[in-house]
Amino acid sequence: MNKSEIIIKEKSIPYEIRRKKGNRHLRLTVHSDGRFVVSAPRWYPLYRIRRFIENKSSWIADKIQNVDFDKLEKKRKFIGAEYKKRKKEARQIIENSINILNNNSQFSFNRIAIRNQKSCWGSCSRKKNLNFNWQVAFLPEELKNYIIIHELCHLEELSHSQKFWKLVESLVPEYKQLRKKLKNHSV
């Protein structure tokens, strides 16, 4: 990942370049926090990526015109400080919940990581490692449990296939309602 900046309407806007092996085209993603990411093939030259961004600058400006970057930076710093303060507490809460929720199913996993993720509540790797955003620990109980069970189910079925959702539903019948509630909480 490569970080850089572009000047759009006299504002310095940070962006990331992510080069991925499987990418065949350039893709631009603007996030709600004002960040934007350019995904590009590994072989794509940097000058062409910059030209692509410059050509899209009015579109980018339109998307981020109402973003208060100073406020966002303060929020990021606050969340970073909270993460450092509460990481151990979050780990204990999440590990205890996993032990309780996994008691009947007995999914096997390797390790649990607690992170300060920006865009997701949790993930599960092919190596059977569970990753959780530290903020999961402080969500309402039903949402925390849903996220944990969701990731535990990925230990058996990595994709979001029909088989995966049936497994989730067998453990959390009201998962659809919980997913909707979760949208009211931001990472």
Tell me the C-alpha distance between 23 and 14, whole Å: 22
CATH top-level class for 82-182?
A: alpha beta
Where in the chain is CATH 3.30.2010.10?
A: 82-182
Per-residue pLDDT of the chain (187 residues; tens, 9 = 90+): 677 777 777 777 778 888 877 778 888 887 766 678 888 888 888 888 888 888 888 888 777 777 777 787 788 889 889 999 999 999 999 999 999 999 888 899 999 999 998 778 999 999 999 999 999 999 999 999 999 999 999 999 999 999 999 999 999 999 999 999 988 887 7
Q: What is the pTM of this model?
A: 0.71
Q: Which amino acid is at 31?
A: H
Tell me the C-alpha distance between 26 and 42, whole Å: 10
Tell me the C-alpha distance between 164 and 149, whole Å: 11
Tell me the C-alpha distance between 154 and 129, whole Å: 10
- Please enumerate in sequence order all residues whose Cβ is within 8 A of that of 67, keeping only pairs 6 or more positions apart, or say none: 33, 34
Residue with tokens 């893709």: 27
